[in-house]
């Protein structure tokens, strides 16, 4: 088992010493021995965003990849990945996109990450930068070292948020929320060529009330949308890829 979380122990230590410390840290721990006990926590990276959720996917057995909003030099909060090696140690930090998000606060929208059977990294995120704003997708075919040109997701005339990506059975599924001022929809796009081209978005669920974030899961050969809304309740909707 691999666990990763946002950790503030170094924030407390810096505060006690009267030193500045931006954001929080990305911490991790393993449990790979009998007994079900996590090893001692280790800080993989200081100065990460203090609220945005962390996305985790596996590039292979014992090789988790964490995608998170890092704080780069100058207080730029852009997304990055760290791939852990087979010996359980964090590898280099690689930037996903140059959004140029200069903000001393947390946007409260973390990324999503999936890794296909061919090793392609698929990333989605919310950008609030000086270069990019909105919801984006990109892929990497070299272990996260470089990513494709970000692809803008959603209709510019609606509020688009909470993108989620899943790679399963040779397909890539990308879902996101869209609000047109009256109803919220979950839109779905699919790719059959590792994210190089995508189908047109199609609506797979709607609600006129409060809703949770859409999640994608897979069981055997079928992908599903997992979505909870106040009015309709919980729905688990099977998905079909679309050319």
Q: What is the DSSP string of 94-135?
A: EE------B-SS--S---EEEE-TT--EEEEEEEESSS-EEE
pLDDT at 103: 82
What integer best gives the mean pLDDT of the chain? 93
| Whether pLDDT at 33 is above 90 | no
Q: What is the pLDDT of residues 78-103, one digit of tens each?
A: 999 999 987 889 999 999 999 999 98
110/130 Cα distance (integer angstroms):
18
pLDDT at 242: 66
CATH number for the region 50-238 comes to: 2.120.10.10
Phi, psi for residue 16 in degrees, rounded to 5:
-65, -30
Environment class of residue 89 by beta-carbon count within 10 Å: exposed (0-12), middle (13-18) or buried (19+)?
exposed
Higher pLDDT, 31 or 17: 17
Quick one: average pLDDT of 99-116?
89
The pTM (predicted TM-score) of the whole model is 0.94
- What percentage of the chain carries pLDDT values higher than 70? 99
pLDDT at 104: 81
Environment class of residue 232 by beta-carbon count within 10 Å: exposed (0-12), middle (13-18) or buried (19+)?
middle
pLDDT at 243: 56
Dihedral Cα 163, 167, 171, 177, nearest 10 deg: -10
| Whether pLDDT at 188 is above 80 | yes
What is the greatest pairwise CA distance in the chain? Answer: 58
pLDDT at 193: 96
With contact defined as beta carbons under 8 Å apart, do 6 and 50 qualify? yes
């Amino acid at each position: 088992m691999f666990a990763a979380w946002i950790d503030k122990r170094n924030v407390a230590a810096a505060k006690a010493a009267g030193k500045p410390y931006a954001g929080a840290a990305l911490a991790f721990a393993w449990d790979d021995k009998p007994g079900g006990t996590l090893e001692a926590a280790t800080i993989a990276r200081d100065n990460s965003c203090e609220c945005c959720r962390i996305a985790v996917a596996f590039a292979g057995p014992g090789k988790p990849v964490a995608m998170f909003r890092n704080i780069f030099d100058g207080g730029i909060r852009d997304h990055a990945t760290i791939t852990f090696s087979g010996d359980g140690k964090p590898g280099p930090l690689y930037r996903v996109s140059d959004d140029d998000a200069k903000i001393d606060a947390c946007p409260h929208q973390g990324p999503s990450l999936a890794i296909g059977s061919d090793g392609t990294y698929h990333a989605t995120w919310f950008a609030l930068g000086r270069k990019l704003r909105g919801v984006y997708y990109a892929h990497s075919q070299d272990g996260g070292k470089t990513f494709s040109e970000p692809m803008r997701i959603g209709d510019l005339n609606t509020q688009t948020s909470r993108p989620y990506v899943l790679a399963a059975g040779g397909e890539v599924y990308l879902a996101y929320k869209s609000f047109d001022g009256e109803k919220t929809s979950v839109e779905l796009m699919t790719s059959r060529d590792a994210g190089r081209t995508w189908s047109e978005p199609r609506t797979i669920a709607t609600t006129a009330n409060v809703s949770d974030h859409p999640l994608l899961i897979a069981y055997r050969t079928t992908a599903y949308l997992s979505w909870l809304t106040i009015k309709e309740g919980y729905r688990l909707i099977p998905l079909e890829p679309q050319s």
